[in-house]
């Protein structure tokens, strides 16, 4: 693997997931692979899981890890040909080139603006790192995608499924803040590549990018959509058509124990209790959010392993 910025960098989903489940049994098996190699993790935005799980994954492989909260460094300029006489002190061309001198792999987290749809769709941060770095790039969540999360999600479904082709439903839920579509986008793309009965449910106006959703069934009736589900993945996202807007905070869309039925509950976390999902779900045995978060380590580890093998 050269880079991991989209789930489509994975050649074979089934074998990668199988390999990851094996790796979990013996996480230090390849602890020599990353010896004397450095992962630099760059955070333009906050993180708990991605930061800790990716560092843990790198350490399982024997790598050294350096972390930079980019907001503590010089303000970066991304436009070409700009006269840099305002606030931005360093151009991405130099910054990415310099970081490549210190890193064997660079991992980047950069959220969308949720204001400028075109700019977010261009993925200007991750694309600039791909263009100006001389080492592989991993996305730790970009403007439109969260491929490490989606890989962990697919591993979790595989581990907990009790039938060959489980019913998996992605359900929108209310949230007080405008959130990106990235997690939902990558989960939709991942489920399209798995042997599952997959559908999405959300209120009208919350349609995701149709180029991502393609022919996945969408149901505006949550109760109907969740019937007989094996997995309910709950996530808020802001409107894509009315870009970045909160159109509804209707708490009838919060997931309750009654609506969950016999399904397993999934969420990428962090989650707002009793807004997105009620306590009774999170505190029940049907919630697999901690196991899902644990799988973030092994999703990152398999990606790092595949990149290190090609260095
Ligand atoms: N799910 C996820 O990416 O968590 P963090 O934002 O805490 O990294």
Contact, 93 vs 132, CB < 8 A?
A: yes
**Which ligand 1 atom sits nearest the alpha carbon of residue 109?**
8
Residue 50 Cβ inside 6 Å of ligand 1? The answer reads yes
Query: What is the spatial distance between Cα 277 and Cα 241, in angstroms, rounded to a whole number?
Result: 25
CATH of 7-145+296-308, one of 3.40.50.2300, 3.20.80.10, 3.40.50.1370, 1.10.1040.50: 3.40.50.1370
- Tokens 């789930």: give the residue: 7
Which pLDDT value is given to residue 251?
A: 95
The residue ranges of every structural domain in the chain are 7-145+296-308, 149-292
Give the pLDDT means over successive 10-residue stretches in the chain (311 positions). Answer: 98 98 98 98 97 98 98 95 96 98 98 97 98 98 98 98 98 98 98 98 98 98 98 98 95 98 98 98 98 98 98 96
Residue 266, ligand 1, Cβ within 6 A: no
Rounded distance from Cα 105 to ligand 1 centre (Å): 20
Query: Atom 6, ligand 1: which residue's CA is nearest?
Result: 47
Cβ of 193 less than 6 Å from ligand 1:
no
Fold equal for 7-145+296-308 and 149-292? yes
CA of 88 to the centre of ligand 1 (A): 27
Q: Cβ–Cβ contacts within 10 Å for residue 178, how many?
A: 16
Contacts 24+ apart (CB under 8 A), 286-294: 286/260, 286/262, 288/156, 288/160, 288/264, 289/265, 291/156, 291/159, 291/160, 292/152, 292/153, 292/156, 292/266, 292/267, 292/268, 293/49, 293/53, 293/152, 293/269
Distance linking the first and last C-alpha atoms of the chain: 9
Q: What pLDDT, on a 0 to 100 scale, did the predictor assign at position 165? A: 98
The pLDDT of residue 60: 98
CA 132 to CA 6: how far, in whole Å?
18
149-292: CATH topology: Rossmann fold (3.40.50)
Q: Residue 205: beta bridge partners?
A: none
> Does ligand 1 come within 6 angstroms of the Cβ of 216?
no
**C-alpha 49 – ligand 1 centre gap (Å):** 5
pLDDT at 14: 98
- Alpha-carbon Rg for the chain in angstroms: 19
Bond from prior residue into 239 cis (ω within 30 degrees of 0) = no
Q: Tell me what pLDDT residue 45 has.
A: 96
């Amino acid at each position: 693997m050269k880079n991991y910025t989209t789930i489509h960098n994975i050649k074979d989903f089934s074998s990668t997931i199988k390999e990851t489940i094996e790796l979990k049994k013996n996480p230090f098996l390849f602890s020599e692979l990353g010896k004397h190699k450095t992962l630099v993790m760059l955070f333009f935005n906050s993180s708990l899981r991605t930061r800790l799980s990716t560092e843990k994954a790198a350490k399982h492989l024997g790598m050294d890890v350096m972390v930079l909260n980019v907001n503590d460094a010089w303000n970066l300029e991304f436009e070409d040909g700009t006269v840099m006489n305002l606030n931005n002190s360093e151009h991405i061309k130099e910054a990415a080139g310099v970081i490549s001198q210190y890193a064997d792999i660079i991992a980047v987290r950069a959220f969308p603006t949720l204001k400028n749809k075109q700019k977010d769709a261009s993925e200007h941060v991750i694309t600039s790192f791909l263009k100006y770095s001389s080492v592989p790039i991993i996305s730790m969540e970009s403007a439109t995608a969260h491929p490490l999360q989606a890989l962990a999600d697919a591993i979790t479904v595989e581990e907990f499924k009790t039938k060959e082709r489980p019913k998996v439903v992605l359900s929108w839920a209310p949230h007080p803040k405008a959130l990106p579509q990235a997690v939902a986008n990558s989960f939709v793309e991942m489920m399209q590549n798995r042997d599952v009965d997959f559908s999405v449910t959300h209120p009208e106006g919350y349609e995701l990018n149709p180029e991502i959703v393609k022919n996945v069934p969408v149901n505006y009736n949550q109760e109907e959509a969740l019937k007989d589900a094996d997995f309910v993945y709950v996530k808020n996202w802001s409107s894509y058509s009315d870009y970045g807007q909160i159109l509804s905070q209707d708490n009838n869309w919060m997931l309750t124990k009654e609506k969950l039925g016999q399904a397993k509950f999934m969420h990428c976390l962090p989650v707002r209790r009793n807004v997105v999902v009620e306590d009774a779900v999170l505190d029940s045995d049907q919630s697999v959010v901690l196991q899902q978060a644990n799988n973030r380590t092994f999703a990152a580890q398999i990606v790092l392993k595949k990149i290190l093998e090609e260095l």
